[in-house]
Amino acid sequence: MLQFSKFVAVRASLAVLTLLLVSFIVFTLMELVPGDCAERYLSFKNSQGAVITPADIQAERVRLGLDQPYVKRWAFWVANAFRGEFGDSCILRLNISQLLGQKFWLSLGLCLSALVLAYAIAIPVGILAATSKNALLNNSLRLVSYLGLALPNFLLALMIMLFSTIWFGESLTGLFSKEFRDAAWNWDRVKDFLGHAWLPIFILGWSATAFAIQTVRALMSDEIGKLYVTAAAARGVSGRRLLMRYPARHALAPIINSLGFDLNRIFNELPVVALILTLTEAGSLLIEALARSNDQQLAGAIIFLLTGSIVTINFVTDILLAVTDPRVRRSIVGG
Amino acid sequence: MTDQTNSPTTASDQKLKEAYFTASQRQLIWQRFKKNKSALIGAWVLIILILSGIFAPFLTPYDATIAGRDKEYMNGAPEIPQFCDDNGCSARPFIYTTERTRSIETNFRWVTEVKTGLEDRRYVHFFVEGSSYKYFGITFNTHLFGVDKGQVHLFGTDSTGKDIFSRTFSAINTSMAVGTIGVFIAFFMALIIGGVAGYYGGWIDSTLQMITDTVRTIPSIPLFMALAAFIPDTWSAESRFFFISMVLGLIGWPTLARRIRTHLLTERNQEYVLAAQLCGAKAGHVIRRHLLPSFTSYIIVDLVISFPYMVLSETALSFIGLGLKDPVNSLGVMLQNVTSADVLLNYQWYFIPVIFFIALVLAFVFVGDGLRDAADPYSDSKK
């Protein structure tokens, strides 16, 4: 038990270290964007008619703490970021955590649902594909998963949306109907939300599923040829019981391990899909922040939060794997 | 000796066997690759697409930028050359002349009118002179085909009158170029970082692994977006192009680096490495001359597999407007044009580049998969 908690502690500190590194990269990127907050604030004032001198900009820099050394500002930013406080966006002049708030959790929820959907389909289908000798089934599955890669999500989103607009007269965009957009959470709003959310979840899950089927199939066909499976079959275990008890358990361990990176891949698609479906959650905010207004505070906050959730999932799956897989447990606790 | 001369079949068998055992890695891979039909088809499609991308200026009749636009034929439908019509047949394929008119009959709206008269035929000619282009510093102006009067648009034109046929092929060229530069930058970074980590091991490996994992956890498209946002609007299209390719490469290296490291970790304890080290070879020499050749084939396979991801990333970036922009013209730039319902209803030919895009990615995936199976020495025994 002591060794196990030591393992958890080491993993946790590694996760925090990773986050610190990420935050450094993100912060550096934010700093590299030309123009700082002081200039932005004052250029806004300038546009309102005030007369601005270089001395004013300098004074504003001191007020915002931008004259402090780089590392110190980074430390300050990180300390706040871990508390969920990202300061104000200089362009929108709004508090970022207020701006993101619910939107970020909605996006995370969408991505996680897509991930669950992907594996709910991929695990049975992948196992089936690995065990089946049916050439037709195998080839058609291969083609579908190749298409999952070649038909990028944004194209799929676009097609579904355009076709539904033309044939059903419904636009399928957004996450809420108009009347529910700013309403408080209640049962009707949840129903409305689910009615809209299936499309982004399906689109986000599309290529993830294709990818996951490939992985499950490859891992499963690796395991199925191993001697312990033959031995189990020789002892009289057969059919589904054989598959579930022996090779499937081993084949799924690496998948659990890579869930974090799968989530990463789904996050990648989110901004583009969000742009097409005009979802007003974090993905499109990111595009807004980067493509239109160069809002580095907002972009940095979003990337930090995304990475934070991926690191957290990696950490959780590491622990989960150590708890469930006796081989991993043994390598930690010692034999 | 006498044995072999007496039975020529065993002699040739022997030769075959010998050929098998002395075959280089490359020959073995090629032998296995040839058996895979879908990969072979993919390879042919890929070669044709790449060649048509490279020779796009020659194969396509017009300049892909705004300079080659057809003012007389905007948002025009594809024109398919035909041999026969009501006025009789001709050995030379032809298309009809179109004219934009506006009069009281058309409610004063601009309408494209097709003239089908005998004198309005535009005949297709081969090797016609047209806009000039450059290869290796020599200027050419011969194009594979063209028409005697006006212009021909096999895939139609877009809203500014640019020829979609010409644009598609030059877009393939650009997307491939971005992919190539990106893959090579990623490859060199992966080689150096993965090589150092795998060869030295120990704390160097742990530190480098940690950095690699960190880069891997950051979602790459948002990171692309953050990096692409640096590009000032004043940059020329060409510098934008190089910057985007560089960014793609700088973010794409971790997966490859991990594989190289894992491979080196297992290879470096082999006897031949020890022998080289005992002979006094330096670390760089051992990596370059002994370890890398041991898995060049795997590296090549990895490069082919990562290629479509580069193309896809570039397309996604250009699609959201952060990547390439006119006049540089990539598949992503072309896909931008299909986003409105108007296009689906009225201008379906805008979707033609999409077919090429899917074909390109699919061809890469098939070839990559086929190569991976072929490079795996155990792939035969698995079946």
Q: How far is CA A138 from CA A39, A143, B33, B374, in A?
A: 60, 9, 19, 19
Q: What whole-number percentage of chain B has pLDDT above 90?
A: 0
Domain boundary among B162, B182, B209: B162
**Reported confidence tier of residue B322, pLDDT bands at 50, 70, 90:** confident
- Per-residue model confidence (pLDDT) at position B341: 63
Nearest to B219 among A21, A165, A268 (CB): A268
- B260 with B115, same domain: the answer is no
A65 domain residue, yes or no: yes
Domain count, chain B: 2
- B183 with B282, same domain: the answer is yes
B366 touches chain A (CB under 8 A): yes
Is residue A114 scored above 80 in pLDDT?
A: yes
Tell me which of A48-52, B183-187, B205-209 is least confident.
Answer: A48-52
DSSP A48: T
- Per-residue model confidence (pLDDT) at position A87: 73
- A250 with A286, same domain: the answer is yes
Query: What's the CA gap between B190 and B197, in Å, rounded?
Result: 10
Mean pLDDT (chain A) is 76
Neighbours of B93 (CB within 10 A): 18
Q: What's the mean pLDDT in B5-15?
A: 65
B355 touches chain A (CB under 8 A): no
Domain boundary among B162, B178, B209: B162
- Which residue carries 């994992």 as its tokens? B213
Is residue A283 scored above 70 in pLDDT?
A: no
**Reported confidence tier of residue B379, pLDDT bands at 50, 70, 90:** low
Chain segment A196-210, per-residue pLDDT in tens: 777 788 888 887 888
Residue B337 domain boundaries: 169-382
Contact B213 A166 (CB under 8 A): no
A6 domain residue, yes or no: yes
Contact A268 B222 (CB under 8 A): yes
- A141 with A188, same domain: the answer is yes
Please, what is the Cα angle at A163 between B342 and B330, to 5 degrees? 60
Of residues A193 and A213, which shows the higher confidence score?
A: A213
Bond from prior residue into B327 cis (ω within 30 degrees of 0): yes
- B298 with B198, same domain: the answer is yes
3-state secondary structure of B161: coil
Closest among A80, A37, A83 to A60, alpha carbons compared: A37
Is residue A330 scored above 80 in pLDDT?
A: no
- B144 with B188, same domain: the answer is no
- A7 with A156, same domain: the answer is no
Q: What's the mean pLDDT in A229-252?
A: 80
Chain B contact set for A296 (CB, 8 A): 226
Chain A contact set for B323 (CB, 8 A): none
- A128 with A202, same domain: the answer is yes
Please check whether residue B197 is in contact with residue B204, taking contact to mean a CB–CB distance below 8 angstroms.
yes
- Which residue carries 């891979």 as its tokens? B29
- Name A204's Cβ contacts closer than 8 Å, sequence gap at least 6: A110, A111, A114, A153, A266, A269, A270, A273
- A238 with A121, same domain: the answer is yes
Is residue B382 scored above 50 in pLDDT?
A: no
CATH code for the domain in which residue A200 is found: 1.10.3720.10
Tell me chain B's radius of gyration from C-alpha atoms. Answer: 27
Record the tokens describing residue B115, joined without a space.
């003239």
Is residue A322 scored above 70 in pLDDT?
A: yes
Q: What's the mean pLDDT in B85-94?
A: 75
B266 domain residue, yes or no: yes
Contact A158 B319 (CB under 8 A): no
- B185 with B116, same domain: the answer is no
| Long-range contacts, stretch B46-52, CB < 8 angstroms, 24+ apart | B46/B360, B46/B363, B46/B364, B46/B367, B49/B172, B49/B356, B49/B359, B49/B360, B49/B363, B50/B172, B50/B176, B52/B169, B52/B172
Is residue B65 scored above 80 in pLDDT?
A: no
- B176 with B322, same domain: the answer is yes
B363 domain residue, yes or no: yes
- A71 with A114, same domain: the answer is no
**Reported confidence tier of residue B2, pLDDT bands at 50, 70, 90:** very low
- B94 with B186, same domain: the answer is no
A110 domain residue, yes or no: yes
Q: What is the chain A residue with the closest CA to B214? A: A18
- Which residue carries 């002179």 as its tokens? B129
A326 domain residue, yes or no: no
Taken in order B305, B310, B313, B315, the sign of the CA dihedral is negative
Q: How far is CA B174 from CA A91, A134, B304, in A?
A: 35, 41, 17
Tell me which of A212-221, B93-102, B194-203 is least confident.
Answer: B93-102
Domain count, chain A: 2
- Per-residue model confidence (pLDDT) at position A334: 53
B320 touches chain A (CB under 8 A): yes
Please check whether residue B151 is in contact with residue B62, taking contact to mean a CB–CB distance below 8 angstroms.
yes
Tell me which of A176-185, A304-313, A314-323 is least confident.
Answer: A176-185
Closest among A210, A223, A207 to A141, alpha carbons compared: A210
Contact B341 A165 (CB under 8 A): yes
B345 touches chain A (CB under 8 A): yes
A328 domain residue, yes or no: no
Q: What is the chain A residue with the closest CA to B341? A: A162
Of residues A25 and B342, which shows the higher confidence score?
A: A25
Is residue A335 scored above 50 in pLDDT?
A: no
Nearest to A271 among B210, B214, B320 (CB): B320
Nearest to B226 among A29, A158, A275 (CB): A29
CATH code for the domain in which residue B352 is found: 1.10.3720.10
- Per-residue model confidence (pLDDT) at position A289: 67
Please check whether residue B252 is in contact with residue B310, taking contact to mean a CB–CB distance below 8 angstroms.
yes
Q: How far is CA A3 from CA A7, A288, A327, A335, B319, in A?
A: 6, 47, 15, 12, 50
- A21 with A170, same domain: the answer is no
CA distance A219 to chain B (A): 13
Query: What's the CA gap between A312 and A12, in Å, rounded?
Result: 9
Q: Residue B323 — φ and ψ, nearest 5°?
A: -95, -125
Contact A272 B319 (CB under 8 A): yes
Q: Chain B, 230-249: which have a CB under 8 Å from a chain A CB?
A: 230, 232
Residue A285 domain boundaries: 100-292
- A181 with A261, same domain: the answer is yes
Chain segment B222-269, per-residue pLDDT in tens: 777 777 666 766 777 777 788 888 888 887 788 788 878 877 777 777
CA distance B219 to chain A (A): 5
Tell me which of A179-188, B3-12, B197-206, B222-231 is least confident.
Answer: B3-12
A305 domain residue, yes or no: no
Chain segment B90-142, per-residue pLDDT in tens: 777 777 777 777 777 767 777 777 777 666 777 777 777 777 777 777 777 77
Mutate to test the interface with B, among A257, A303, A304 (most CBs of B within 10 A): A303
Helix or strand holding residue B101 (H, E)? strand B88-101
DSSP B316: H
CA distance A56 to chain B (A): 26
A329 domain residue, yes or no: no
A246 domain residue, yes or no: yes
Contact B366 A22 (CB under 8 A): no
Chain B contact set for A311 (CB, 8 A): 217
Domain boundary among B127, B144, B162: B162
How many CB contacts within 8 angstroms connect chain A with chain B? 119
Task: Tell me how far apart the terminal alpha carbons of chain A are, to the nearest angstrom.
Answer: 13
Give the DSSP per-residue string, A167-219: HT-----SSS-GGGTTPPP-HHHHHHHHHHHHHHHHHHHHHHHHHHHHHHHHH
Nearest to A162 among B315, B341, B354 (CB): B341
Of residues A229 and B231, which shows the higher confidence score?
A: A229
- B121-135/B88-101 β-pairing: antiparallel
- pTM for the model: 0.77
- B137 with B242, same domain: the answer is no
Q: Residue B116 — φ and ψ, nearest 5°?
A: -105, 10
Is residue B184 scored above 60 in pLDDT?
A: yes
- A110 with A257, same domain: the answer is yes
- B138-147/B111-115 β-pairing: unpaired
**Reported confidence tier of residue A183, pLDDT bands at 50, 70, 90:** low
Most confidently modeled range among A110-124, A149-163, B259-273, B311-325: A110-124
Helix or strand holding residue B69 (H, E)? none
Record the tokens describing residue A227, joined without a space.
């001697």
ipTM of this predicted complex?
A: 0.71
- Per-residue model confidence (pLDDT) at position B319: 76
DSSP B174: H
Chain A contact set for B315 (CB, 8 A): 152
B222 touches chain A (CB under 8 A): yes
- A64 with A107, same domain: the answer is no
- B264 with B134, same domain: the answer is no
CA distance B174 to chain A (A): 18
CA neighbours within 13 Å on the CB side: how many for B32? 21
- A154 with A25, same domain: the answer is no
Is residue B161 scored above 80 in pLDDT?
A: no
- A217 with A134, same domain: the answer is yes
- Per-residue model confidence (pLDDT) at position A35: 65
Chain B contact set for A152 (CB, 8 A): 312, 315-316
Chain B contact set for A264 (CB, 8 A): 216-220
Please check whether residue B236 is in contact with residue B170, taking contact to mean a CB–CB distance below 8 angstroms.
no
- B234 with B323, same domain: the answer is yes
Q: Chain B, 200-219: which have a CB under 8 Å from a chain A CB?
A: 210-211, 213-219
Q: What is the chain A residue with the closest CA to B360? A: A150
- B120 with B246, same domain: the answer is no
B29 domain residue, yes or no: no
Please check whether residue A164 is in contact with residue A170, taking contact to mean a CB–CB distance below 8 angstroms.
yes
B56 domain residue, yes or no: no
Most confidently modeled range among A27-41, A116-130, B337-351: A116-130
Contact A267 B225 (CB under 8 A): no
Domain boundary among A64, A92, A120: A92
In the beta sheet, which residues pair with residue B85? B88
Q: What is the chain B residue with the closest CA to A300? A: B226
- B301 with B351, same domain: the answer is yes
Mutate to test the interface with A, among B218, B233, B348 (most CBs of A within 10 A): B218
